[in-house]
Amino acid sequence: MHLVVCVKQVPDATEVKVDPVKGTLVRQGVPSIANPYDMHALEMALQLKDEHGAKITVLSMGPPQATDVIKRSISIGADDGRLLCDVAFAGSDTLATSYILSQAIKEIEKTDPVDIVFAGKMAIDGDTAQVGPGIATRLGYSLVTYCLGIDGIDTGRSVIKARRQLEGGCEVVEADLPVLITVVKEANEVRYASLPDLIKSIRSDVTVWNKEFFELDIPQCGLKGSPTQVKKIFPPPPKDVTPEIMNTGETGLDEIANTVAEAVSKAGIL
Amino acid sequence: MKERFDVIVVGAGPAGLAAAYTTAKAGLKTIIFERGEFPGSKNMFGGVLFAHSLSEMFPDFWEEAPLERALVEERYWLLSEDSATTFSFKTKSFGQPPYNGFSVLRAKFDRWFAGKAVEAGALLVNETLVEKLIQKDGKTIGVQTGREDGDVYGDVVIVAEGVNSLLTKELGIHEEWRGNEVGVGVKELISLPKETIQERFNLEGNEGIAMRILGTTRGMTGGAFLYTNKASVSIGVACMVEDVSNECVCPNDLIDDLKNHPMVKPLIAGGSTKEYSAHMIPEAGFRSIPELVHDGLMIVGDAAMLTILITGEGANLAVTSGRLAGEAAVKAKENGDFSANGLSSYKEAMDESYVIKDLKQFKDFAGYFHSNRDILNLYPSLLNGIVKQVIATDGLPRSEKIERAKAMLKEKKSYWQLMKEAWHGWRSIR
Ligand SMILES: Cc1cc2nc3c(=O)[nH]c(=O)nc-3n(C[C@H](O)[C@H](O)[C@H](O)COP(=O)(O)OP(=O)(O)OC[C@H]3O[C@@H](n4cnc5c(N)ncnc54)[C@H](O)[C@@H]3O)c2cc1C
């Protein structure tokens, strides 16, 4: 089996601030991490590899520093990686990004057909959840979103059985291979690298593909190929709430608990 | 793990990075372990990097390192409830090469420094905790990390794990630091527009100021600081752990005291807190420095308690000690002798350097403050009271004012006591 996992490098969401004057994201000095959902997608692929044997190729589009997320993936068991990096890709929205990634997967397929493409449920810096489905559509793959786990692969019939996360439940589906699967974080716990594997990954050379390495219609890439435009970014205005300090001495705990419960239900929080 | 290294460095702070850079550059096979996501990710300090230590390794580092401002003014504030007496020294010359010091944010700076070590050939392994030093026949021969298959062997281990030095404690090289040997520092990073900082602190271009503040620690041994960055200020306070725990004060309250002091408040008005951090700081100086060299082992930086409170130095001592340990490892490699004897040039070089000389000079200083609580409790307000009495123009004849000032002083202290304290204070720094 050949599994491709899409991993994005994102700014650590806990540290991103919005510039109140310019209305843009302040990314300078903010550490980058591998999009957490993507790592759960990789773990799902690794578990398949453990069980059935597979080759895992990690694919990322981003700036040169995004080699870090590919190395991290290699440290826990991915076999190979490609970083798609070119100024022509900068500013891509979800449409352009899914185009570029699917073109790269087509190129990879030329030498090594792909059975499953994995992606995270969404990236934590955009929260769109569009790129995975976009790739599936372009490649004509079947699509399983919000995947919690893979229960079986029937190579004879070329189908996969998977569990999907629903609100308040779980759905078991079958999908034809090749398939694109997007993964939620409840799916698994991501493993740690052993020291020798970690060191090997630090020393590994990541293959970088610029726009010359695979077939691309350049007008569909980058800013030019991106119909979505971010007009404005702003932090939601803080709610104007004045805390009320209640004294247990006067009223007793029960009454305070009641007051709080009432206020919470009135505010529609529960 | 099978692979061996010449040098294993534990901790990618200034001390460990200086050591790793030095050994890697000389061609020794060097590995650095850092428990944080990347060097600097877990690190904080007040904010002044004195330039000399780094320029010995990178002559023009200011042209490429991520620095905030070149500090052209050192201002000392003695604060009482609503007054301040100030001493300040400012010189434009500190704003030019070779510079005196820079304000620095560790997350960026440590990362840059680590890049230098990696360029020189060191192998940097992040997110990996060193749990133990591996010993054989009383000699350190490697480290045990928290990862699977995580034992690594090498000729020498350089411990640069900072003040919370568990590894060397476990070997029995030193005891657990006592409450009067370490302090706790808390700091907030408050963002302010660049123009506001220029105006409030009277700065031009890339100039910055370092302020050291006494009198806001409720009498506990400690002090506060405020350093300007490009578009933020680092403001914080550090106190001896023993005092903080005896007085049951939450360090957080101390920083609130500071921020709400009428002299400090306007300096940070309108700013928003971007970061809050806390860290321990070695305070006992020379007396608690452990043996620096052992068989197969050297200790550098805060792990060896190398800080000088009075001048706010630590990072520069860390860099210098790391470099000297690195040089000793290179020498030991040439001679093929990594025993304590083979590594002894580290200790000799340290004794010759400003690091140990200055630490010796100030060896009684922290103790002096600690045992003379009046210095922080009484003197700032007494001084402010006297200065106010003398300066206020209120219709009283000057002769009368001076008499009153004397009386204020005498009410609190006899001349004999004053002289005694001054003498001890003087003795503590010479
Ligand atoms: C509030 C405060 C203000 C300060 N202000 C100043 C100042 O203005 N100027 C100045 O020069 N100094 C200042 N200092 C002192 C200065 O921060 C230290 O002296 C300096 O950081 C020491 O460097 P180091 O490399 O020895 O240790 P650290 O900077 O503490 O670095 C230790 C590194 O080791 C890592 N580590 C620890 N244990 C392990 C392990 N077991 N395995 C793997 N990695 C590990 C840590 O994550 C860290 O990266 C201040 C300190 C404090 C607390």
Query: Which of B282, B316, B331 finishes a domain?
Result: B282
Q: Closest ligand 1 atom to the C-alpha of B185?
A: 1
Rounded to 5 degrees, what angle do the CA atoms A7, A12, A16 make? 130
Residue B427's pLDDT band (cuts 50, 70, 90) = confident
B193 lies in the same domain as B61: no
B138 lies in the same domain as B22: yes
Asked if residue A41 has pLDDT above 70, the reply is: yes
In a domain, B91, yes or no: no
The pLDDT score that the predictor gives to residue B402 is 87
Min CA distance, B317 vs chain A (Å)? 26
The pLDDT score that the predictor gives to residue A155 is 86
Pocket test for ligand 1, best of B10, B33, B43 (most atoms within 8 A of CB): B43
The pLDDT score that the predictor gives to residue B133 is 98
B165 lies in the same domain as B312: yes
Q: What percent of chain B has pLDDT over 70?
A: 100
Query: Which two tokens mark B61?
Result: 């580092």
In a domain, B76, yes or no: no
Interface membership of A259 toward B (CB under 8 Å)? no
| Secondary structure of chain B as H, E, C letters | CCCEEEEEEECCCHHHHHHHHHHHHCCCCEEEECCCCCCCCCCCCCCEEECHHHHCCCCCHHHCCCCCCEEEEEEEEEECCCCEEEEEEECHHHHCCCCCEEECCHHHHHHHHHHHHHHCCCEEECCCCEEEEEEECCEEEEEEECCCCCEEEEEEEEECCCCCCHHHHHCCCCCCCCCCCEEEEEEEEEECCHHHHHHHHCCCCCEEEEEEEECCCCCCCEEEEEEECCCEEEEEEEEEHHHHHHCCCCHHHHHHHHHHCCCCHHHHCCCEEEEEEEEEEECCHHHHCCCCEECCEEECHHHHCCCECCCCECHHHHHHHHHHHHHHHHHHHHHCCCCCCCCCHHHHHHHHCHHHHHHHHCCCHHHHHHHCCHHHHCHHHHHHHHHHHHHCCCCCCHHHHHHHHHHHHHHHCCHHHHHHHHHHHHHHCC
Asked if residue A25 has pLDDT above 70, the reply is: no
The pLDDT score that the predictor gives to residue A259 is 84
Residue B245 CA, ligand 1 centroid: distance in Å = 22
The pLDDT score that the predictor gives to residue B424 is 83
Q: Side chain identity at A162, as an amino acid letter?
A: A
Q: What percent of chain A has pLDDT over 90?
A: 69
B153 lies in the same domain as B16: yes
B303 lies in the same domain as B244: no
Question: Which residues of chain A lie closer than 8 angstroms to B125, CB-CB?
Answer: 195, 198-199, 202
**Highest mean pLDDT: which of A121-130, A149-158, B112-121, B246-255?**
B112-121
Query: Which of B234, B250, B282 finishes a domain?
Result: B282
pTM of the model: 0.89
Query: Which two tokens mark A59?
Result: 């694919």
Nearest-by-Cβ selection for A195 from B1, B105, B107: B1
Sketch out chain A's domains with CATH numbers.
2-220 (3.40.50.620), 237-270 (no CATH)
Interface membership of A196 toward B (CB under 8 Å)? yes
Mean pLDDT, rounded, of chain A: 90
In a domain, B64, yes or no: yes
The pLDDT score that the predictor gives to residue B398 is 86
- Top-confidence residue, A179 or A19: A179
Query: Which two tokens mark B89?
Result: 């020294």
Q: Closest ligand 1 atom to the C-alpha of B280?
A: 53
Check B149 against A31: CB less than 8 A apart.
no
In a domain, B274, yes or no: yes
| Secondary structure of chain A as H, E, C letters | CEEEEECCEEECHHHCEECCCCCCEECCCCCEEECHHHHHHHHHHHHHHHHHCCEEEEEEECCHHHHHHHHHHHHCCCCEEEEECCHHHCCCCHHHHHHHHHHHHHHHHHHCCCCEEEEECCCCCCCCCCHHHHHHHHHCCEEEEEEEEEEEEECCCCEEEEEEEECCEEEEEEEECCEEEEECHHHCCCCCCCHHHHHHHHHCCCEEECHHHCCCCHHHCCCCCCCCCCCCCCCCCCCCCCCCCCCHHHHCHHHHHHHHHHHHHHCCCC
Question: Which residues of chain B lie closer than 8 angstroms to A203, CB-CB?
Answer: 123
Range of the structural domain that residue B315 is part of: 4-68+104-179+285-352
| Secondary structure of A14-28 as H, E, C letters | HHCEECCCCCCEECC
B317 lies in the same domain as B239: no
In a domain, B139, yes or no: yes
What is the pLDDT averaged over residues B22-45? 95
Min CA distance, B266 vs chain A (Å)? 22
Residue A254's pLDDT band (cuts 50, 70, 90) = confident
What is the pLDDT averaged over residues B243-261? 92
Asked if residue B196 has pLDDT above 80, the reply is: yes
Interface membership of A267 toward B (CB under 8 Å)? no
pLDDT, one tens digit per residue, over A97-108 is: 999 999 999 999
Question: Which residues of chain B lie closer than 8 angstroms to A17, CB-CB?
Answer: 274
The pLDDT score that the predictor gives to residue B295 is 98
Nearest-by-Cβ selection for B107 from A17, A29, A193: A29
Nearest CA to ligand 1 atom 37: B161
B119 lies in the same domain as B245: no
The pLDDT score that the predictor gives to residue B229 is 97
pLDDT, one tens digit per residue, over A114-132 is: 999 999 999 988 778 899 9
Min CA distance, B54 vs chain A (Å)? 22
Which of A32, A195, A197, A203 would best serve as a mutation to test chain B binding (most B beta carbons within 10 A)? A195
The pLDDT score that the predictor gives to residue A266 is 83
Asked if residue A175 has pLDDT above 90, the reply is: yes
B193 lies in the same domain as B277: yes
Residue A250's pLDDT band (cuts 50, 70, 90) = low
In a domain, B47, yes or no: yes
The pLDDT score that the predictor gives to residue B363 is 87
B41 lies in the same domain as B129: yes
Which residue bears the tokens 């999907």?
Answer: A164
What is the pLDDT averaged over residues A55-71? 95
Residue A19's pLDDT band (cuts 50, 70, 90) = low
What is the pLDDT averaged over residues A145-154? 95
Asked if residue B233 has pLDDT above 90, the reply is: yes
The pLDDT score that the predictor gives to residue A114 is 97
The pLDDT score that the predictor gives to residue B317 is 98
Interface membership of A28 toward B (CB under 8 Å)? no
B106 to chain A: nearest residue by CA?
A29
Residue A113 makes CB contacts below 8 A (sequence gap 6+) with: A2
Give the lowest-confidence range in A16-25, B29-38, B144-153, B324-333: A16-25
Cα separation, A210 vs A84, in Å, equals: 6
Cα separation, B205 vs A177, in Å, equals: 62
- Top-confidence residue, A182 or A231: A182
The pLDDT score that the predictor gives to residue A26 is 67
Residue B374's pLDDT band (cuts 50, 70, 90) = confident
Number of domains in chain B: 3
The pLDDT score that the predictor gives to residue A245 is 74
Query: Which of B222, B257, B282 finishes a domain?
Result: B282
B31 lies in the same domain as B172: yes
B2 to chain A: nearest residue by CA?
A196
Asked if residue A171 has pLDDT above 80, the reply is: yes
Residue A61's pLDDT band (cuts 50, 70, 90) = very high
Pocket test for ligand 1, best of B113, B188, B281, B305 (most atoms within 8 A of CB): B281
B397 lies in the same domain as B412: yes
Min CA distance, B125 vs chain A (Å)? 7
Pocket test for ligand 1, best of B8, B33, B35 (most atoms within 8 A of CB): B35
Q: Side chain identity at A122, as an amino acid letter?
A: M
The pLDDT score that the predictor gives to residue B252 is 86
Mean pLDDT, rounded, of chain B: 94
Q: What percent of chain B has pLDDT over 90?
A: 77
What is the pLDDT averaged over residues B298-321? 95
HSE value, Cβ hemisphere, 13 Å, CA-based, for B283? 26
Counting one residue from chain A and one from chain B, the pairs whose CB atoms sit within 8 A come to: 40
The pLDDT score that the predictor gives to residue B251 is 84
In a domain, B73, yes or no: no
CATH of the domain at B13: 3.50.50.60
Question: Which residues of chain B lie closer than 8 angstroms to A194, CB-CB?
Answer: 147-150
The pLDDT score that the predictor gives to residue B9 is 98
The pLDDT score that the predictor gives to residue A247 is 72
Check A196 against B149: CB less than 8 A apart.
yes
In a domain, B78, yes or no: no
Which of A19, A198, A200 would best serve as a mutation to test chain B binding (most B beta carbons within 10 A)? A198
**C-beta of B161 in contact with ligand 1 (< 6 A):** yes
B25 lies in the same domain as B135: yes
Beta bridge partners, A150, equal A162
